[in-house]
Amino acid sequence: MRDLLNKLGSAKLAIVLFFLLAGISILGTLIPQGQPGSFYLGKYGQVLGKLILFFQINDAYHSWWYITTLFLFLFNLIVCSINRLPFTIKLYQKDPGELHPEKLPNKLVEQVRVTSEQLGELIAKKYGFKRIDKNFDNGEFFYKSVNKPFFFSVYVVHFSLVIIIIGALIGAFWGYRGNMSILEGESSNVVQPFRKREPVYLDFTVKLNKFILETYPNGMPKEYISNVTIYDKNKTFDAIIKVNEPLKYKDVTFYQASYNIIPEFTIKVIHNKKSEDFRISPFQPINIEDKYSIALQDYGEAHGLIFMKLWIVNEENGESKEGLIISGFPPLEVSFSEDNLSLEYVDLAKLYYMTGLQAKEDPGNVVVYLGFIIMMLGLFFVYYFDPKTYWLFIKRRDSDTWEIMLGGYAKRERESLRLKLETLLEEIKRDLSEVK
């Protein structure tokens, strides 16, 4: 058990997981996602198609193997961080004076000819070194630590990833996203979530006053705007919802997602030799003498003609018929067992806009954003504040010769540290040539 835990939290596994995740993430971008099963069997053949469905590659990022790998990654991240923390604390607390000057890392040694007595103080003061109160065969020992707290920067980044994943999980379990379609002039409080059947009923209503579609002179869409009014128990206010400018009210955020143009037609109905004009739309069936109801199933335009597909039901005996009426064509005669109907296209009476809002409630959102901020800070710390320690040891060789030893440690910039030490030594030598 302990052995397994060690393996799952090993740094080796972390490296494997990075490249493994990179590899398995590709699958879902190559194979179209979220199509019906028949699509895969048709496109990839029976064998490959069945394999795709069996391994859920049709919904790769929600499949058991992907989620498992992600959680393994998360687990590994946490265990690795905890395992390494004591090591980092040790580094942080390490006393720079413990080191013996002969054993300085990245050591550079140089002999300089200077007669001045206070050489140590001089250099230390100029470059901000601190004295180490230890005596090593009459030499003076100094150190300088920079960015010490930033030993912990990587933990900030790791922690932020955990926060983001927690935020995403909160959203997945306690939040929803869904559609809310409202016709101009109408109100609604119903949201149809994407992944559930049961609609969500808001405790306030949204009324669409007007939908505005702005276009550029060349006809490209410029702005989609829903002008809405929110009606709550003791509060009513107007608001505008645009793409990129969502509206937030009571934990629910509304986004401008889509729109539709809904027509209302006038048709002429002759029944029992009586002729009458009716208005019909996809949401508004018509009723004829409480006996027949007519619903608009489909409509459209082809070759400059408007067609409507109607569904006519005899409410008394349930008998139903379907038929097509086309603008400019003779009336459609529908014969039922008892009597006949004649239906004729008159005109397009009106166009309504319908806005498609997306409503979202995500209690994890704040957590995710917090994670984003922490991650950016952490990465900034990691990149720009690398902890380093410099050592300086100077010792008098004889009356006019001093030996200077420089050493340094860097957490990340190990290779450029040497260059830095060399430049520092050059600078010190230049200073000393002036001191003489």
Site string for another protein, 145-174 (x = CB under 8 A): -----------------------x------
Phi, psi of 328, deg, nearest 5: 85, -5
Q: How far is the CB of 206 from another protein (least distance, A)?
A: 15
Say which residue the tokens 């923390």 belong to: 85
d(CA 48, CA 29): 17
Q: Is 11 in the site for another protein (CB under 8 A)?
A: yes
Interface with another protein in residues 16-35 (CB under 8 A): 18-19, 21-22, 25-26, 28-30, 33
Q: Given the complex with another protein, which of 256 and 281 has the nearer CB atom?
A: 256
Q: Is 246 in the site for another protein (CB under 8 A)?
A: yes
Q: How far is the CB of 279 from another protein (least distance, A)?
A: 32
Q: Is 83 in the site for another protein (CB under 8 A)?
A: no
Alpha-carbon distances of 267 from 50, 161, 249, rounded to whole Å: 50, 61, 42
The piece of 7-15, 36-44, 280-288, 399-407 that touches another protein (CB under 8 A) is: 7-15
Q: Is 382 in the site for another protein (CB under 8 A)?
A: yes
CA max distance for the chain: 130
348 in Cβ contact with 265 (< 8 Å): yes
Q: Which residue of 2, 3, 4, 12 would you call a contact of another protein, by CB under 8 A? A: 12
Q: Given the complex with another protein, which of 419 and 435 has the nearer CB atom?
A: 419
Angle, alpha carbons 34-17-63 (nearest 5°) = 20
- Among candidate residues 373, 359, 415, 410, the one with its CA nearest the CA of residue 389: 410
Q: Which residue of 196, 376, 397, 433 would you call a contact of another protein, by CB under 8 A? A: 376
408 in Cβ contact with 417 (< 8 Å): yes
160 in Cβ contact with 371 (< 8 Å): yes
Q: How far is the CB of 182 from another protein (least distance, A)?
A: 16
What DSSP designation does 199 have? P
Q: Which residue of 159, 224, 345, 353 would you call a contact of another protein, by CB under 8 A? A: 224
d(CA 5, CA 32): 37
Site string for another protein, 248-287 (x = CB under 8 A): -----x-xxx------------------------------
Q: How far is the CB of 218 from another protein (least distance, A)?
A: 7
Alpha-carbon distances of 300 from 20, 309, 356, rounded to whole Å: 50, 9, 20
Which pair of tokens denotes residue 42?
């048709």
171 in Cβ contact with 182 (< 8 Å): no
Q: Which residue of 45, 149, 185, 221 would you call a contact of another protein, by CB under 8 A? A: 221
13 in Cβ contact with 7 (< 8 Å): yes
Q: Which residue of 38, 244, 337, 399 would you call a contact of another protein, by CB under 8 A? A: 244
Q: Which residue of 121, 184, 223, 264 would you call a contact of another protein, by CB under 8 A? A: 223
280 in Cβ contact with 300 (< 8 Å): no
Q: Which residue of 198, 289, 290, 415 would you call a contact of another protein, by CB under 8 A? A: 415
d(CA 341, CA 346): 16
Q: How far is the CB of 85 from another protein (least distance, A)?
A: 14
d(CA 257, CA 245): 11
CB-count exposure of residue 416 (10 Å: 0-12, 13-18, 19+): exposed
Q: Is 355 in the site for another protein (CB under 8 A)?
A: no
Q: Given the complex with another protein, which of 12 and 430 has the nearer CB atom?
A: 12
Number of residues that bind another protein (CB under 8 A): 51
What DSSP designation does 282 have? T
| Binding footprint of another protein on the chain (CB under 8 A) | 11-12, 14-15, 18-19, 21-22, 25-26, 28-30, 33, 61, 168, 177, 216, 218, 220-224, 242-246, 253, 255-257, 358, 360, 365, 368-369, 372, 375-376, 379-380, 382-383, 412-413, 415-416, 418-419
